[in-house]
Structure 1
Amino acid sequence: MDRIRSRRIAKRQERAIDRAWHSAPTQAMRDEIAIFAQRRPI
């Protein structure tokens, strides 16, 4: 059960990061979001 919940949370975070990346106004902000996404725990 915990595995399902954690997978759902991870997918939700992934979608939120993707939306933020696509709506970022500058390339520098996209770079920051990409760095954040790479460093987040899985």
Structure 2
Amino acid sequence: MSMIERFRQRRQVSRQNRDIDRAMQNAMTPAMRNEIAIFAQRRQPF
């Protein structure tokens, strides 16, 4: 894996983490937060 690919991968993971954090903060109910947490745990690592 090239250095550029690793950089892009890290940037994408950071972006996904920010999106998940934002979704958790904006979730209306605890059930929605639980669903987001399950999704975040099951996503494919790079």
Category of TM-score, reference length = shorter chain: over 0.9
RMSD of aligned alpha carbons:
0.4
Give the aligned length: 42
Shift of 1:9: 0.3
Question: Which runs of 5 or more structure 2 residues have no equivalent in the other structure?
Answer: none
Runs of 4+ more than 2 Å apart: none
The CA deviation at 1:2 is 0.2
Q: TM-score scaled to structure 2, two decimals? A: 0.88
Name which one, 1 or 2, has greater alpha-carbon Rg. 2
Identity %: 60
The gaps in structure 1 that reach 5 residues or longer are none
1:33 to 36, 40, 46: 36
TM-score normalised per structure 1: 0.96
Shift of 1:8: 0.2
